[in-house]
Amino acid sequence: MRVLMTLVASLLMPSVAMAADATCNAIAKEKNLHGAALNSFVTKCEKDAKAKCDADAKAKNLHGAAEKSFTTKCVKDASGT
C-alpha cells in the first residue's frame, strides 16, 4: 500500500510543479475570465501566493528587509504583474 501511495504521489508531483509555475494572470487568461470573475480569481490567487511566500520566507528564517524583499518578489513572480 505504501508503495502505491509513493507511486501516485511521484506521478502527481510534476503536474503540481507545472501548475505552480503558472502565474495568476496566465491562469486567468487560460480560463478566459473577465469582469468580476477575473477580479475575484486574481485576488484569491494573489492572496494564496502571499500566504505561500510568507511561509517560504519563514522557512528560510528571513527577517526585516530581507523578508519583505523576498515576499514582494515572490508575490510579484506568482501573480505575473
CA distance 81 to 18: 19
Q: Contact at 8 Å (CB) between 59 and 4?
A: no
CB atoms within 10 A of CB 33: 15
pLDDT tens track for 2-53: 544 444 454 444 333 334 458 898 999 999 999 999 999 999 999 999 999 9
CA gyration radius, the chain: 16
Which residue from 13, 24, 38 is spatially nearest to 81, judged by alpha carbons? 24
pLDDT tens track for 51-71: 999 999 999 999 999 999 999
